[in-house]
Amino acid sequence: MEQEEMIVIDNVSMRFNLGIEKNNSLKQIFVEFLKGKKKDKNQFWALKNIDINIKKGEVVGFIGSNGAGKSTLLKIIAGVMKPTKGKVKSYGNICPLIELGAGFDMELTARENIYLNGAVMGYTKKFIDSKFQNIVDFSELQEFLDVPLKNFSSGMIARLAFSISTIVEPEILIVDEILSVGDISFQEKCEKRMTAMMSGGTTVLYVSHSLESIKKICNKVIWLDHGVIKEIGGKKVCDNFEKYMLGGEKNE
Amino acid sequence: MKTINELKSIYTKYNFLIQQLITRDFKVKYKRSFLGVLWSLLYPLMMMTVLAIVFSNVFRFSTPGVNYLVYLMTGLTLYNYFSEATNLAMSSVVANFSLINKVYIPKYVFPLSKCLFVGINFLFTLVPLYLVILFTGTGINFWHVLLPIVFICLFLFTIGIGFILSTIAVFMRDMFYIYGILISILTYMTPIMYDINMISKEFQMILKLNPLYHYISFARTIILYGECPSISQFLICIATSILTFIIGIIVFKKNQDKFIYYI
């Protein structure tokens, strides 16, 4: 069966300027202007010529050591960053769970934050109204609805955030290391919801350092290493990665 | 034209987000104050009373033929909108970096929502202004129907400047300090508390380069003198505001993709 393509990543490269932080003040610009030096020594290619095609319904796991470019790639797919070179095309609405609760305001109550965060994700008021009870039920925070978020525990905030993020069934779901929050029972609930979404045909991009969970839910694994694709394949990639990482440690 | 259409489509799509950001600003601003939104009315009224007392009694400023309090308040109401909105718009993008870094949101939304938020506050400050207009016997005339034109011009000008400032602030945080100095220079360079005819002719030329002067004098022509503003006044106000608005959008749009590297 010919599957529909959901995301096409075409020769994407991403360059960061590591020294950019220092360039923020007038003094620096002035000093550099006087010295007449241009700083492009500190360039760092986070991603180099990445080509990936992801089809509808695929659950893709991204693995790799810290700084391999996993999160950068997901941010590019989500549209948060623009790649230095290359193009990303996605067909379908994307729901990024890159970091939960990005749009929360700690001064406002949970109820107010549901609307604010929903708006940040691009939903209409009508839509949030209709899903409001679902969100509250899933998060199990009924009694705390009118408490300002600053009085919430981090686990409670994560619950609320997860509940809001997954109220729609997006065509593409981007998950970056989030299931580590909340207590065990809630984690299980999250996993169940995600599995339900996946079986419903949602394309999922999943980043995790837990190879266990990648093996459990992904049917395609991409191993990134220093900005290049080292291997694409099935669950076997996880084993190769594990061997590589452990082997590397022994050699050191 | 293309950018205006784009802005319109973004506005309709992210309409609810802008509403939410504005309500958030209101809620956070008045949280835990007893008088709440009432401060939007009381604060400008009291501030202006203080200024009016100082300038008319201590410095003995006066404006022949018209009421000084109304003269001062008309200028201040418009000027305060500009100063507060540009200040908030300038920091809006930087303040929301955590959001920009995680979710895709058109970045226009932040300066725009700040200018709208202060705009709603501005409408509140019209209440004390009109109270003063009535109590001092200046009275309301037919030409007041033209005032919304200058309000819209002021809004477009402010958001244009807000776009430019928020862009600069991302790349250069010094802008927060520099703008603080600039705005206090501008306060004295704009004939708010004094009459422009009090100063020398050459200097007047410089002051007239400031679009804010023209918006304020447009409003004063109507409120204080009960006259219809001249065609040149109309043209200056409309042209400067639309021009600034367009420049602001272009500057912002050209740079917005680079914002993320300067977090």
Question: Which residues form the domain of A245?
Answer: 5-251
Half-sphere exposure of B118 (CA within 13 A, CB side): 26
Contacts with B24 from chain A: Cβ below 8 Å:
105, 108, 112, 116
Query: What's the gap in Å between the CA of B262 and the closest CA on chain A?
Result: 7
* Tally of structural domains, chain B: 1
Contacts with B261 from chain A: Cβ below 8 Å:
16-17, 20
Contacts with B178 from chain A: Cβ below 8 Å:
26
Judged by CB atoms closer than 8 Å, whether chains meet at A17 and B261 is answered as yes
Is residue B134 situated within a structural domain?
yes
Question: In terms of C-beta distances under 8 Å and separation of at least 24 residues, what long-range contacts does B81-85 make, across chains too?
Answer: B81/B118, B81/B119, B81/B121, B81/B122, B81/B125, B81/B154, B81/B158, B82/B154, B82/B157, B82/B158, B82/B161, B82/B212, B83/B183, B83/B186, B83/B187, B84/B118, B84/B121, B85/B114, B85/B115, B85/B118, B85/B119, B85/B158, B85/B159, B85/B162
Is residue B18 situated within a structural domain?
no
Is residue B120 situated within a structural domain?
yes
Distance of CA B53 to the CA centre of its chain: 24
Judged by CB atoms closer than 8 Å, whether chains meet at B262 and A16 is answered as no
Please give the pLDDT value at position A180.
Answer: 60
- Average pLDDT score, chain A: 79
**CA-based nearest residue in chain A for residue B259:** A81
Residue A5, SS3 per DSSP = strand
Q: Which residues does residue A220 pair with via DSSP β-bridges, in sequence order?
A: A60
Is residue B38 situated within a structural domain?
yes
Question: Which residues form the domain of B179?
Answer: 32-262
In this complex, how many residue pairs, one in chain A and one in chain B, have their CB atoms less than 8 Å apart? 75
Tell me whether residue B251 is exposed, middle or buried, using C-beta atoms within 10 angstroms of its C-beta: 0 to 12, 13 to 18, 19 or more. middle
Judged by CB atoms closer than 8 Å, whether chains meet at B174 and A25 is answered as yes
Query: What's the gap in Å between the CA of B79 and the closest CA on chain A?
Result: 28
Provide the percentage of residues in chain A whose pLDDT is more than 70: 81
Chain A residues within 8 A (CB-CB) of chain B? 16-17, 20, 24-27, 29, 75, 78-82, 94, 96, 98-99, 102-103, 105, 107-108, 112, 115-116, 119-125
Question: A126 pLDDT exceeds 90?
Answer: no
Is residue B84 situated within a structural domain?
yes
Contacts with B104 from chain A: Cβ below 8 Å:
78-80, 94, 96
**CA-based nearest residue in chain B for residue A127:** B16
Query: What's the gap in Å between the CA of A157 and the closest CA on chain B?
Result: 16
- Nearest-angstrom CA–CA distance, A71 and A8: 17
Question: A22 pLDDT exceeds 60?
Answer: no
Query: What's the gap in Å between the CA of B122 and the closest CA on chain A?
Result: 24
pLDDT by residue for chain B (263 residues), tens only, comes to 566 676 666 666 778 888 888 888 888 888 778 887 788 788 878 887 888 788 777 777 777 778 888 888 899 999 999 999 999 999 999 888 878 877 788 888 899 999 999 999 899 889 888 988 998 888 888 899 999 999 999 999 999 999 999 999 998 888 899 999 999 999 988 988 888 888 888 888 888 899 999 999 999 999 998 889 999 999 999 999 999 999 999 999 999 888 887 76
pLDDT tens, A53-96?
888 888 888 888 887 888 888 888 888 888 888 888 888 777 76
Judged by CB atoms closer than 8 Å, whether chains meet at A99 and B104 is answered as no
Contacts with A25 from chain B: Cβ below 8 Å:
172-174
DSSP line for A94-150: EEEESSTTTT--TTSBHHHHHHHHHHHTT--HHHHHHHHHHHHHHHT-GGGTTSBGG
- Nearest-angstrom CA–CA distance, A104 and A115: 10
What would you report as the CA-atom Rg of chain B, rounded to the nearest whole angstrom?
Answer: 19
- Nearest-angstrom CA–CA distance, B22 and A94: 25
* Tally of structural domains, chain A: 1
Is residue B21 situated within a structural domain?
no
A43 pLDDT band, cuts 50/70/90, is confident
Distance of CA A108 to the CA centre of its chain: 25
Sheet holding A85-90, edge to edge: A43-55, A5-17, A85-90
Neighbours of B164 (CB within 10 A): 22
Question: A29: which residues sit within 8 A by CB, 6+ positions away?
Answer: A23, B172
DSSP state of B34: S
Phi, psi for B84 (deg, rounded to 5): -70, -45
Is residue B12 situated within a structural domain?
no
Contacts with B262 from chain A: Cβ below 8 Å:
20, 24
Q: What is the CATH number of the domain that holds A228?
A: 3.40.50.300
Whose structure tokens read 């418009």?
B78
